[in-house]
Homo-oligomer: A and B are copies of this chain.
């Protein structure tokens, strides 16, 4: 009965990931609330999307903090980051594919800051000799986002097991699919 802002935003993200043209009425129904209530809390579709972006950014920055990317090896940091991001994967999956934020101002700035942190993490790994230098930090950052989104979507679609989320992403991103000789 009571309005749960976060639960509403999460189900909205889940719906909009599958059907990006969903109406406010569909979003409300998916969240189990009335359209009027949805409208009371989010002035319109734009406001809803902006709220999703803000929540996603907030959770991602919290995950970045929790991951303590500057402690230990690159691998340890990445494992902590993916673990911390997993609960927000549904939200991230929506945001990765939501490229409409070309007009946003503060939101975009926030994502630039987060991008810079991830990118700097990859650069440090390269400088310490733990990561290859022939793949740019910018690409590794984008690939990280893409794989998180792909992982969340694959699980939601039932094509991979939910418990493999962290392992799949970390192993592919760090080690790749090739079977190395020393393994």
Contact = CB atoms under 8 A, between A and B. Distances in A.
A159 B146 CA distance: 14
A150 B102 CA distance: 17
A40 interface: no
Interface residues of A, number: 53
A26 B109 CA distance: 27
Instruction: Kindly report how many copies of this chain are found in the complex they form together.
Output: 2
Nearest to A75: B178
10 contacts: A18-B100, A18-B102, A19-B99, A20-B21, A131-B179, A138-B159, A171-B176, A173-B176, A174-B178, A175-B176
A17 B160 contact: no
A129 B74 CA distance: 27
Interface of A: 17-21, 74-75, 97, 99-100, 102, 122, 125, 129-136, 138-140, 142-143, 145-147, 149-151, 153-154, 157, 159-160, 164, 167-168, 171-183
